[in-house]
A and B are shown apart, each in its own frame.
Chain A
Amino acid sequence: MTALEPGARGGGAPWPDPIVDVRGASFAYGPALALQDVSFTARAGEFVGLLGPNGAGKSTLVRIVAGLLAPRSGEVRLAGIDPFRAPRRQVARACALVPQEPRVAWPFTVREAVMMGRAPRQGLLAVPDRLDHGAVRGALEACDLVHLADRRLDALSGGERRRVFFARALAQEPRVLLLDEPTAFLDLGHQVAAMRMAQLAARGGLCVVAVLHDLNLAAAACDRVVVLARARVVADGPPAAVLTEARVREVWEVPVWRGENAATGAAVVLPALPRP
């Protein structure tokens, strides 16, 4: 059984539904408003894409859900707890965040890095037990990293490194998986692989929320998309319904061609550049 399959992490108390529940949250960096009265929910088993232009507040919303920032007003519930005020270890057992460009300051091996995902369940000296080794093995298998397990992080390609941090998040065995631009700086093949892993995690019962810039990948992979613009939520629903030509033109302020993938029915959005 891999970490991605449902039931891989035993039962326990029933989780609140929706597991991510943000109500009327506002946030500002100094005088600049980053989020204004934003409400956002996500359920277990759902893959939600957060879309919107740069500076719309997507990353801020993710940080508020992860409890790294406290909203100025409004309320946040993550698996039933207030993620900013609850003990960090408790939050980290419920929610994993895969940062946009993970830092590699010290050359840990892949296995060491993935094992760090077990930190919120380990004691003072983080001596791994059988459960820890099992979770790490499952995460390495799920992310196709077994053959790289003893390599140093600084000897990996960008795509491989991204998989390591995804595996670390899986080893964390969270209920909620937050991905900040999981496809940035990746080539097409690695982008698809990253989306596929996120989809599988959601099918396995996780609540997956990803900040995405590629509308077509979001339309193809997400169950639901939420569009933020100027610190507010402007649309929320199935990708095909949300990503209309008019909305994309209005939110991103570019003319686009909107079509449909004949095979899957997914929305396709292409920027319409004028001929030179």
Chain B
Amino acid sequence: MKSSRRTRLALALAAGALAVVLSIAVSAAFGAQPLSVSAALAGRDPDATILFSLRLPRALLAALVGCALAAAGTALQALLRNPLAEPFVLGVSGGAALGGSLVLVAAAAVSRVAGAAGDLLGAAPPVAAGAVVGAMLSTVLVFGLGRIGGRLVPEAALLVGIVFNAFVAGVITLVKMLVPPEQASRLLYWLVGAVGYEAPGTLAVGAALVALSVAALVALSARINLLTLGDEEAASLGLDVRRVRAWVFFAASAATGAAVALAGMVGFVGLIVPHLVRRAVGPDHRLLVPASALFGAAFLVLADALARLAFLPLGTEPPVGAVTAFLGGPFFLWLLRRTARPEAAR
């Protein structure tokens, strides 16, 4: 059995890595401007600039965001013991967006007094930190309020997340009034979940954060398996439930915070991808977490390519968050109907 598990792990990871490479290749090859790959590789402009300065960084950004969201979704589903959990639905993305927005507002206020300091605060690392802190606080809030009589009630936590999302939307609307108009529109575009063109520095910070938090979730994956059994069973199998859960919260929140800092609120990736991957590789999180991370990356790269290409004739492109919501909303409802029937669950 040892070998079959290793084989499955190797197969899943190889398939996931292949999917990431292929999706990035597809995304880089197609776009508004026809592109000659051979010219780009020979360093001839404009092809080289389009490929290396625009399309590849954008595809990489989408891959990072998708990877983080899918891994976080897998972890949150295990924590909630419910396949409907997801960073966006649970309000974790909302908390991250609120945290990031508040840092931007603070930056706007500071730059009025001391221009340079404000620019520094509005840069990528502080905004990412705000998003991570916001994600963590909202995770604690949602899972805390989802506890009734000492027991975690998944439906309650999901409701708290949905209400918290509405609350966050209201607060962010207020925040937009408080910042200068050009920043308000930037904020708006960020919040709808758009994969844009980020500076290399931002990309590097985001990549480091995503890599660390996804690696932490992979390292925790055997313990996540035990957490899915419930607190008492996990404890009687030797798990220090509180400590492990805190670490999983921490890592999932950091991944979500990083994703939101990079691309705003992209919903449902953490719902669709882990569900489909679980159907293929089974519920063992030692396979599920890394495979979901890879396929999440590929998924969002393709979704972003779809967003760029589908509306080309109209000369516009929707943010990728619109594409994932368009796919994810119905998927969520389908999953809800399925899991409502206990014997047919998953």
Please name all residues of chain A whose beta carbon is closer than 8 Å to the beta carbon of B343 when the two chains form the complex: 154
The reply to whether B81 and A103 contact each other, CB–CB distance below 8 Å, is: yes
Please name all residues of chain B whose beta carbon is closer than 8 Å to the beta carbon of A172 when the two chains form the complex: 237
The reply to whether B283 and A119 contact each other, CB–CB distance below 8 Å, is: no
The reply to whether A124 and B1 contact each other, CB–CB distance below 8 Å, is: no
Does any Cβ of A come within 8 Å of B286's Cβ? Answer: yes
Q: Roughly how many angstroms separate A118 CA and B283 CA in the complex, as a whole number?
A: 18
Q: Roughly how many angstroms separate A68 CA and B237 CA in the complex, as a whole number?
A: 11
Does any Cβ of A come within 8 Å of B345's Cβ? Answer: yes
Q: Interface digits, A89-128 against B, CB 8 Å rule (1 contact, 0 not)?
A: 1011101110100110111110110001101101011101
Q: Roughly how many angstroms separate A275 CA and B184 CA in the complex, as a whole number?
A: 80
Does any Cβ of A come within 8 Å of B202's Cβ? Answer: no
Does any Cβ of B come within 8 Å of A196's Cβ? Answer: no
Does any Cβ of B come within 8 Å of A247's Cβ? Answer: no
The reply to whether A119 and B228 contact each other, CB–CB distance below 8 Å, is: no
The reply to whether A126 and B236 contact each other, CB–CB distance below 8 Å, is: no
The reply to whether A112 and B284 contact each other, CB–CB distance below 8 Å, is: yes
Residue of A nearest to B232 (CB): A68
Known: A103-B230, A133-B1. A92 touches B237 (CB 8 A): yes
Does any Cβ of B come within 8 Å of A66's Cβ? Answer: yes
Does any Cβ of A come within 8 Å of B226's Cβ? Answer: yes
The reply to whether A124 and B238 contact each other, CB–CB distance below 8 Å, is: no
Q: Roughly how many angstroms separate A99 CA and B231 CA in the complex, as a whole number?
A: 11
Q: Which of A148-207 contact B (CB under 8 A)?
A: 154, 172
Q: Interface digits, B218-238 against A, CB 8 Å rule (1 contact, 0 not)?
A: 010110011011101101111
Residue of A nearest to B6 (CB): A127
Does any Cβ of B come within 8 Å of A72's Cβ? Answer: no
Q: Interface digits, B86-113 against A, CB 8 Å rule (1 contact, 0 not)?
A: 0000000000000000000000000000
Does any Cβ of A come within 8 Å of B45's Cβ? Answer: no
The reply to whether B239 and A88 contact each other, CB–CB distance below 8 Å, is: yes
Please name all residues of chain B whose beta carbon is closer than 8 Å to the beta carbon of A63 when the two chains form the complex: 232
Does any Cβ of A come within 8 Å of B155's Cβ? Answer: no
The reply to whether B238 and A88 contact each other, CB–CB distance below 8 Å, is: yes
Does any Cβ of A come within 8 Å of B46's Cβ? Answer: no
Which residues on B are within 8 Å of A, measured CB to CB? 1-2, 78, 81-82, 219, 221-222, 225-226, 228-230, 232-233, 235-241, 282-284, 286, 343, 345-346
4 smallest beta-carbon distances between A and B, as pairs: A120-B238, A92-B238, A126-B222, A106-B283
